[in-house]
Amino acid sequence: MTEGIDTASTAPTAKAAVVTGASTGIGEATVRALRNEGWTVFAVARRAERLEALAVQTGAIALPADVTDDADVARLLEAVSQAGGIDTLINIAGGARGADKVAESKTEDWDWMYGVNVLGTMKLTRAFLPMLRACGGGTVLNLTSTAGLSAYEGGGGYNAAKFAQHALTGALRLEEAEHNLRVIEVAPGMVQTEEFSLNRLGDQGAADKVYAGVEKPLTAGDVADVVRYAVTAPHHVNLDQIIIRPVAQASNFKVIRKS
In this predicted model, what pLDDT tens digit does every residue of 75-117 receive, in sequence order? Answer: 999 999 999 999 999 999 999 999 999 999 999 999 999 999 9
Taking the C-alpha atoms of residue 75 and residue 228, their distance in angstroms, rounded to an integer, is: 26
Q: How far is CA 245 from CA 5, 202, 254, in A?
A: 36, 24, 11
Number of H helices, E strands in the chain: 9, 9
**Vertex 85, ends 76 and 177: CA angle to 5°?**
100
Taken in order of first residue, the domains within the chain and their CATH numbers are 16-255 (3.40.50.720)
204: number of Cβ within 10 Å = 10
Amino acid sitting at position 54: L
pLDDT at residue 143 greater than cutoff 80: yes
pLDDT at residue 163 greater than cutoff 90: yes
pLDDT band for position 199 (cuts 50, 70, 90): confident
Please report which helix (H) or strand (E) contains residue 90, including its range: strand 88-91
Query: Active site includes 158?
Result: yes
What is the rounded average pLDDT for all residues in the chain? Answer: 91
pLDDT at residue 1 greater than cutoff 80: no
Helix (H, G, I), strand (E, B) or coil at 22: coil
Mean pLDDT of 167-187: 98
Q: Pick the catalytic residue: 152, 158, 211, 229?
A: 158
pLDDT at residue 10 greater than cutoff 50: no
The pLDDT value given to residue 13? 41
Mean pLDDT of 60-65: 98
Lowest-pLDDT choice from 76-90, 98-112, 150-164, 193-207: 193-207
pLDDT band for position 9 (cuts 50, 70, 90): very low
The pLDDT value given to residue 80? 98
Taking the C-alpha atoms of residue 159 and residue 149, their distance in angstroms, rounded to an integer, is: 8
